[in-house]
Amino acid sequence: MIETIYQHRSIRKFSNQPVSSDILKKILHAGTRASTTGNMQVYSLIVTIQNELKRKLWEAHFRQDMVLEAPIIITFCADYNRFVKWCKQRKANPGYDNFLSFFTGAIDALLAAQNVALAAESFSLGICYLGTTTYMAEKIIDILDLPKLVVPVTSLVIGHPNESPGLTDRLPTEGIIHYEKYSDYNAEDIDRIYADKEQLELTAELLKENNKETLAQVFTDNRYTKKDNIYFSKELLKVLNKQGFMNNE
């Protein structure tokens, strides 16, 4: 178990071998066993295999090749639609059209996603999360016919790996774990925590490729810019509103 966790790598190249329906079933079942708020199960999984739909999702997900290559893409959604329909059919008055409920559904969906990811890896399949899900939520809602009170929060591509990358570097554990309370970082802490990462060969390559002085600039200027973040923040809030999750009065 813990070895599966320790050995995780994101896989972005897949063979064209399909995933057997038996294994897919086991993986999906794993998702449904994750903790869920008050056992409400306020999330849904959408398993997309058809080429035409995958092609549309690929377009939404910034045309990343792995979305076309992987035989399966699963979209994890916060979902109060089913629960609210049940309430209404059972003489109950639901009050779940608000931000807290969206976030509750998002937590459910994300814990299920990580169960699915680990279950897939335990069968030697490869997975990669798609951060583009929240950026492109509106388009994904359209492609997958998501009704009100359903919002996609993450996606996984899953398939048989066609690459075997090494473990990704991580900050030293002490850099992200705090004991008892939060200990804020001083300048020396930051230097120490990021030192190994900054000395990687990969970092030298990135600086050259992107023509930057520091690795941090690769993130702020190229990968995750203020302009994009503000644009996609507005889009995501608009989506929450449109899907009916912003009635907070």
Residues 7-66, interacting with its own copies (CB under 8 A): 8, 10, 25-26, 28-30, 32-35, 37-41, 43-50, 53
Output the CA–CA distances (angstroms, integers) from residue 8 to 24, 37, 123, 241, 243, in the order listed: 19, 27, 12, 36, 34
| Chain centroid, CA 33 distance in Å | 18
The nearest distance, CB 121 to its own copies, in angstroms, is: 8
The nearest distance, CB 69 to its own copies, in angstroms, is: 18
For strands 150-159 and 126-129, give the pairing: antiparallel
CB closer to its own copies, 62 vs 224: 224
Q: Kindly state whether residue 207 participates in binding its own copies, applying the rule CB under 8 A.
A: no
Site string for its own copies, 117-136 (x = CB under 8 A): xxx-xxx----xx-x--xx-
Output the CA–CA distances (angstroms, integers) from residue 99 to 24, 96, 229, 240, 243, in the order listed: 32, 8, 20, 8, 11
Do residues 13 and 163 lie in contact, with contact meaning Cβ atoms separated by under 8 Å? yes
For strands 150-159 and 72-79, give the pairing: antiparallel
Q: Kindly state whether residue 201 participates in binding its own copies, applying the rule CB under 8 A.
A: no
Q: Which two tokens stand for residue 112?
A: 């299920």
Q: Kindly state whether residue 215 participates in binding its own copies, applying the rule CB under 8 A.
A: yes
Q: Which two tokens stand for residue 169?
A: 């570097």
The nearest distance, CB 80 to its own copies, in angstroms, is: 10
Taking CB under 8 A as the criterion, which residues in 150-179 touch its own copies?
150, 153-154, 168-171, 173, 175-179
CB closer to its own copies, 91 vs 208: 91
The nearest distance, CB 16 to its own copies, in angstroms, is: 19
Q: How far apart are CA 136 and CA 100, in angstroms?
A: 21
Do residues 69 and 127 lie in contact, with contact meaning Cβ atoms separated by under 8 Å? no
Q: Kindly state whether residue 224 participates in binding its own copies, applying the rule CB under 8 A.
A: yes
Q: Which of 113, 157, 158, 239 binds its own copies (CB under 8 A)?
A: 113
